[in-house]
Structures are given as C-alpha cells and as structure tokens.
Structure 1
Amino acid sequence: MTTLADPVPGGRPGDVERACALSGELAARGVHGVVLAYVDTAGIGRVKTIPTAKLPSAAAWGVGMSPVFDTFLADDSAVSTDVLGSPDGDLRLYPDLDQLTVLGAQPGWAWAPVDRITQDGEPHPGCTRTFLRRVVELAARRHRVAFRAAVEIEWAVGLGSAPAGEFVPAVSGPAYGAVRQVELSDCTADLLAACAAQGVDVEQVHPEYAAGQFEISVGALDPVAAADRSVLLRQTVRAVAQRHGLRVSFAPAVTGEGVGNGGHLHLSAWRDGVNLHSGGTRRHGMTADAESFAAGILGHLPGLMAVTAPSPASYLRLRPAQWAGVFTAWGLETRETAVRVVKGTAGLREHAANLEVKPVDLAANPYLALGCVLSAGLDGLAAGTALPEETTGDPARLGAEEAAARGVRRLPVSLEEAVAAFRADERVRAALGPVLADAVIAVRLGEIDAVAGLDDARVAAAYRWVY
C-alpha cells in the first residue's frame, strides 16, 4: 500500500529516521545510489539520482527539479501554458519510502517514485502521482470504494547491434511461439529473477503477436502502487535487456504498420472487502455500481484517449482487427471492444473479476491514465449510468443501423480528434484541474505539430526509442 499523506518540508513524522535506517541498510547491501523517478505529461520517465547517504536529506527536504518538464515533449523540446513551461521556479522531489526498491538488474542502485511539492511546501498542481492519489482518496470518501489495478506491459525486443535508430527484431518465430521463448530464454529468466528480487509478483511473461514482442503481466495493487510498479517494470525490462546486448521499445508503434505495444489497464472496484464485479445480480455477475462504473469509462473514452493514447504514434496501433479496442463497445471477454469484462475462472471470480480498458498504450503517463479512467468510472457510478447493450464478436462487422442502436462508434482515429474530445469533456478536465488539463492539451498539440507532414513510418521512427 502506498502512503496517502502528502510530503511536507522537514519530513512527515518518522520519515527522516526511517530514511536514515534505510540508508544504512542500502549501504550494507552495496547500494550506492537511489533513482528518484516520475513521469512527465508526455509519458517520458524522468529521473534524478542521489547517493544513498543523501536519502535522509531527500526525505526531509526533497531534491530540486524544474517544473518545466511538465510541458516537455517526447523530443525534449518544450511548450508552455499560462502556468507551466517557464524557465522560472523550482520543485522538490520527495521519495515514497514505502516503494523504495533495490534494483535487481542494476547492481548498486535502488529506486523510488516521488511526489512533487513547491518550494513553499504545497502540492504541485502538475504532479500526476498526487493527482492519482487524490482520486483514490475521493473514491474512498464519497463512495466507500477502493480499487485494485494492474498495467499490462508490452515491448519489442531489438538487436542492440542494429544501425542507429533502426529496429531489427531480436527473435524470430510465430506469435506466442515456443521458438521466441527459447531464443530469449536467458534474458527472460533474468527478468523473472530481477522481478522476484524486487518483490514484483509476476503472473506471466510470454512472446506476443508483433515482431520481437513480449508481454509481462503482474498482480493487482492499489492504483498508485500499480502505476509505480509499471514504471519500475519498464526500468527493469530495459536494464535486463541491455545486459544481454538487446534494446527494447515500449512505443505504441515500433514500425509504421502492424500490431503495436499496448498498456491495457485492469481495474476492479471494491467496497468493504467485496469485489463489485463479482457476485452481483447484473450482467455477468456485476453489481449495479460495477455496471455504472464501466458505463462511465465507456462514455468518456473519446476524451480519455488524449491521456491513454497520447502520442501521434498511438494511432498507428489503434486500428480495427488488432485487438486494440477502437470502438465504444463493451463485451464479455471480447478483445475487440474497448472495455472488456473479465469474469475470471470459476472458483476465483470473487478475487479475479475485473474490467480491462484496451485503448491504452505505454506512451501514457500511468498516473494520469489511471486517475482519469477512475474519475470517468466514478462519474458513471455517481450518476447510476446504465451500460448499453453488450457487443459480441467484432464491432467492425456491425451494420451502421445496428451500431448506432448499440451506441457503437469509432473512437478517435488521430490525436487531433482525441484532443478535441478531451476539450469537450468537462468532467474529465475538471477531475484533472486546470493546470494539468491545460498541460495535457498543450503537450498533445505540441506533439501533433512536431510530426506534421510525416508519413506513418517516420512517425513511428520519431517515437521508437523514447519510450
């Protein structure tokens, strides 16, 4: 469980003493430095690192970092809003000691996610981790609801020896094929070992559909910890691959055509220790609140995609017949619908039943994505929104009249369309607050301008190695 209290200058009660003890423990284990990690609006992981001995100081007073990164683009150029993007000012990064992890694939290093506060000790309105924590707190206070969440991680493995900028798959063989598992056996074994050393409970790791593609699935946690874990996992996958002379890409589209990398979200809502997605009287065992939660997500999906599919490259992946979920439709175990109801195996349903939200990729800031999707679901829950008729099979095969009757329509086909839908979605923007909402719009428009006039192959190349 993550700490829900905001950091404060001087440290919260017990933080400095705890950091002193942890610093000694880390040094005794040969850990020399700590990576302080967060994710910017463009979905890029940003870090500062400190010597292990400086952990108590970081717990008390934070570490400096410019707020300008809230409006950085994926190519490290910057845009601005009326609040963010200036060279002025400073923030303090405070590590979450509950999530401090010794890195299994980077000897000598530990890792911790951070919250960002201002020099005056106030929560930074652009801190996406703080935003997600606020959503979780609001759900508990207003609706007595807690959540469990997990982020699927897909990546493409390329040869480290490939020409600069190019992607050459490191494995051959068919999708989900045993050939791929054997060819990358040593690397994936080391990945499992690193995850185990870091306390990450891996459900499965396997070859996936696209060239050189693999996926890792992990157990569900509270949403903030799940977002933290997704950042940690990518750090781990990248580090393990590099030690094997390989290079990995989590970009939505590594090439201009074919299946890309997703970052599907799995969510379940709980009240008083009971999973609302199982044992209810509504469709497929859902309770009324679970149905309304799913309906809220489904109804807000067009605007949500400015957050869940935030890159121009995202829309190279979001195509019909690629299991990307590009229609406003839901169904039981239907992989072409945007929201997939997962009942779970008989005997495990009380624990395992959940929703999968599919039009999400790993260019998304996981704190932003989870916070906005949960806010959309809570909007549906509060309003008692009804789910439309269920879709079975491929929604692309529905006739126009039947699709309209079911409320099935194509989700945005470009980042421009997603930004327009986001601007029109007052509820999602209100959940973010004006500072973060404006940053999302400014960064997305900057990314659109950055690739204007490029064909699909060049768009994919522009983002291939930044995620």
Structure 2
Amino acid sequence: MPSLVDPVPGGRPGDLARAHALAHELSAQGVRAIVLAYVDTAGICRVKTVPWQRLQQAVAWGVGMSPVFDTFLADDTVVRTDVLGSPDGDLRLYPDLDRLVVLAAQPGWAWAPVDRITQEGDRHPGCSRTFLRRTVAEAEDRLGLAFKAGVEIEWALGRAAAPADEFAPATQGPAYGAARQIELSDYAADLLAALDAQQVQVAQFHPEYAPGQFELSTEALDPVAAADQSVLVRQTVRAVSQRHGLRASFSPAVTERGVGNGGHLHLSVWRDGVNLHAGGDGRYGMTAEAESFVAGILTHLPALLAVTAPSPASYLRLRPSRWAGAFTAWGHEAREAGVRVITGTTGHQSQEANLEVKPVDLAANPYLALGAVIAAGLDGLTSAAPLPEEVVDDPARLIPDEAVARGVRRLPTSLVQAVDAFREDKVVCAALGPVLADAVVAVREGETAAVAGHDEAGVAAAYRWKY
C-alpha cells in the first residue's frame, strides 16, 4: 500500500536504510536499473531510470525532471499555461518504495511510481499522484472515509510485423470466443505469469469484443495503489506483447470503427471497514451517503469527461449503444448508463458492491481520473444530493421529452464540449487546483488543435500507438 504522506528531501526516517537494503536485494536478483514512472496530463507514461546503485540517492534527494512535461501533448508538442510549459525550472522525482517491483517481462529492470516535488521540498501542484493521494487523505481525515478502486484494462493486439502506422489484428477469433483465447494461449499465459510474479492479483482475463481485443481486471485496492497498478499492468502488457511479436494499443479508438478500448473505473466508499454500497436502506442496498456519492458523480460527469475521456479519439468510442456510458444516467447493472451500480453476488454484497463509471478510457491519467471522480462523488455526499430515478435499458431509446423530464442528458460529444463543461464546473476545477486545472484545459485544447481538419480515420490513426 502506498504512503499517504509526501516525500521529504533527505528521506523520511528509515527510508535510506530501507533503500540501501532494497538496492542490494535488486542487484542480487539481476536488476541493473529502476524505471521511475509517472503519467503526464496527456495520459502518457513518462520515465527516467537510475542504476540500482543510485536508488538510495533517489530516495534521499530525488531525480531531476523538467515541469514542462505537464503540458506535453500525446505527440510531444508542448503547450503553455501561465505557470507551466516553460523550458526553465526543475522538479524532483521521488520513488515510492512501497510500490517498487521487479519487472518480470523486462529482465534487468525494476519499476516504481514517483511523486514529484519542487527543489524546495514543496508539493508540485501539477503532480497527479500527489493530487489523488491528497484527495484520499483529506476524505479520511475530514469524513472518516476510505475507498477501494480498480481500473479495467482493455487493449487491442496488433501484429508488430505490420507497417508501423497500421493495425493488423493479432487474432481472428470471435468476440469473447474460445478460438481467440486458444490462438494466443501462450501469450496470455506468459502475461498472467509476469503479473503473478509482480504480485498483481488478476481477477479476470478474457477476449473482448473488438478485433484483437482483450480485457484484464485486477483486485480492488486503495485508489493510489489502483492507479499505480494500472500503469504497471500496461507496462507489463507492452513488454510481453513485444516478446511475442505483437503490439499493444490502449487507444480509445484503434480504428475509426467499432467499440474501442475502455478503462472503466470501479469504486466503492467505506467507513470503519463497512462498505457504504451494501446493507443500507437505499436502492439496491446503498446507504444514503452512497446514493449521494453517485448523485455527485452524475452531476459532474460532463465536466469529468475532460479528465476521463481526454483525447479526441475518446469521442470515437463514447457513443450510444456501445456500452460506453454516453449519458448522465445510472442503473443497476446498466451497461449503457454513465454509472452502473453493481450489487455483487448474494451473500457477498458487503465486499463486492461498487460503482462502475463507464465513460473512461485509457488515454486518461488514472491518478487524475480517480481523484476527480472521487472529488465529484464527495461533493454529492457532503451536500446530501438526491439520487435521481434509475434508468433501465438503453438511455438512447428514451424519447427526448422523457429524457429531459428524467434528467438524462447526452454527455459531451467532443473534447471541445467536455472542456467547456470542465471550465464551468467550479467543484471539479477547485479539486484539481488552478495549476493542474489550467494544464488540463491547455493540453486538451492542444490535442484538439493537433487534429483539426482530420476525419475520423485520421483521428484514430493519430493516436493509435500513443497510448
């Protein structure tokens, strides 16, 4: 479990001795260097690496990295805000030793997520991992709440031998079909073995709907660990895929057609070890606080899309009747609603009951996505917001007057619309803080400009191998 406190220049008590011992353990296991990983505003994982001999130094004083990456686009173009985007300045990357792991599919390497602080030892206001950690810690301190979270991982496998800019599906088997699992059985077994060696507890793995597509779900963890695990799983999928002559894309729309890759968030709220989504007097066993938490997410869902569906390619996926959750609606096991309420199996609801937030894809920075969704839910919880009427079946089937009467709205259909909603949402912007909120707006506007004039095929191609 990652620490909920900030790094300290010079190291917290015991950190240096622990780093020294870990470094020598890594060396004995054949590790030559450690990947220090974070995710930028555009949803791209950026890294620096240090030899194992420098781990203690990194834990004590961090590793330098420019703050300019907070305003990088997915194509590495740089945009600017009033604070970020300059070539000047420096930050320090501090590895979280609690999450350090030897990479099973990359011999000679270990991996750790980082927090970013200033050279003066202050929180960097653009650090998304710090933002999520702060959001979780404040909910615990102020409200006595804790969370369990998970990020679904969907990806499309292409053949690496295909032309670099093309996607040639690695399997021909039908959706969810045994043929697809059999065709890539060795690949799947190696992937699961690598994740097991890295102590990632996989809950499910199966062929998905789109050509060459697979999905993997992991155990629920605290939100910071869940976001870390999402990044680690994708690192592992890429490495194993490459070893098998395959290429993995987590893009929301690998092609302009089809359902695309999602990254649905699963989330539950807990107090004193009790799941607030089970055993209550509300609908489907939810407590009043859980219902209000859902109401908060629904209220802010249009603005949240600037964080959870942050790419122009996201809106090729986020369409009605594709199980993408394109409406401000909720329902019990409703896969077309923006929020799906999951009760779990009879007798196990107290552990399994949770929410699935559907309009999320893997272009999203998982730290930003979880932090923003939690902040939106907490706004509803603390204001005792009423949960509207449940919607069953496909919200797209509602006649317009009925949809309006029931508060069911189509979510933004473009990144431009999502950014407009984000700007107007004072709760979500305040949760991120002005520096991070401005970076979100600048990067999203930059992405929109980068593909201006592209048709849908061009948008899909522009982001096919970025995520």
Aligned to 2:62: 62
Distance in 2 separating the partners of 1:406 and 1:179 = 43
Q: What residue in structure 2 maps to residue 206 of structure 1?
A: 206
Pairing 1:402-441 to 2, within 5 Å after superposition: 402-441=402-441
Cα distance between partner residues in 2 of 1:299 and 1:387: 10
Q: For the residues of structure 2 that align with 1:5 and 1:204, how far apart are their CA atoms?
A: 32
- The structural deviation recorded for 1:406 is 1.0
Alignment of 1:31-430 (within 5 A): 31-430=31-430
Q: Deviations over 1:9-37 (max 9, x none)?
A: 11111111100000010000111110000
| Whole-Å separation in 1 of the counterparts to 2:313 and 2:444 | 12
- SS of the equivalent of 2:8 reads coil
SS of 2:297's partner is helix
Residue-pair matches, total: 467
1:236 alignment partner, SS class: helix
Q: Distance in 1 between matches of 2:13 and 2:84?
A: 31
Letter in 1 for 2:68: V
Give how far 1:231 is off: 0.1
State how far apart, in whole Å, the 2-side matches of 1:129 and 1:151 are.
Answer: 15
The corresponding residue for 1:25 is 25
Shift, 1:76, TM fit: 0.2
CA–CA separation in structure 1 for the residues paired with 2:11 and 2:339: 41
Q: TM-score, normalised by structure 1?
A: 1.00
Distance in 2 (CA, whole Å) between partners of 1:183 and 1:33 is 34
CA distance in 2 between counterparts of 1:257 and 1:319 reads 11
- Is the partner of 1:80 in helix, strand or coil? coil
**What is the CA–CA distance in structure 2 between the aligned matches of 1:139 and 1:257, rounded to whole Å?**
41
Report the Cα offset of residue 323 of structure 1.
0.2
Q: Give secondary structure in 2 for the equivalent of 1:31.
A: coil
* TM-align CA RMSD: 0.5
How far apart in 1 are the matches of 2:234 and 2:400?
41
Letter matched to residue 356 of structure 1:
E
Alignment of 1:438-457 (within 5 A): 438-457=438-457
Instruction: Please tell me the residue identity of whatever aligns with 2:237.
Output: V
Cα displacement (A) at 1:257: 1.4
Deviations 1:217-254 (A, max 9, x none): 00000000000000000000000000000000000000
Which AA in structure 2 matches 1:120? E
Stretches (4+) displaced over 2 A: none
Amino acid at match of 2:220: A
Shift of 1:404: 1.0
What displacement does 1:138 show? 1.1
Q: Give TM-score, length-normalised by structure 2.
A: 1.00
Offset of residue 8 of structure 1: 1.1
**Cα drift, residue 164 of structure 1:** 1.6
Q: Which runs of 5+ in 1 are unaligned?
A: none
Measure how far apart 1:2 and its partner are. 1.0
Shift of 1:424: 0.4
Distance 1:216 1:348 in 2: 22
Which AA in structure 1 matches 2:201?
D
1:363 is paired with a residue whose SS is: coil
Aligned letter for 1:228?
A: D
Q: Provide, for residues 297-347 of structure 1, a one-character-per-residue CA deviation record: whole Å limited to 9, x for no partner.
A: 011000000000000000000011100000000000010000000000111
User: What is the CA–CA distance in structure 2 between the aligned matches of 1:436 and 1:351, rounded to whole Å?
Assistant: 34
Cα drift, residue 405 of structure 1: 1.4
The alignment partner of 1:422 has SS state of: helix
Percentage identity across aligned positions?
A: 73
| Structure 1 Cα separation of the partners of residues 5 and 393 of structure 2 | 45
Deviations 1:381-406 (A, max 9, x none): 00000110000000000111211111
Residues of 2 paired with 1:99 and 1:362: CA distance?
21
Taking the aligned partners of 2:334 and 2:175, their CA distance within structure 1 comes to 20
> How far does residue 141 in structure 1 lie from its aligned partner after superposition?
1.4
What do the CA deviations read for 1:75-116 (whole angstroms, capped 9, x no partner)?
000000000000000000000000000111111110000000
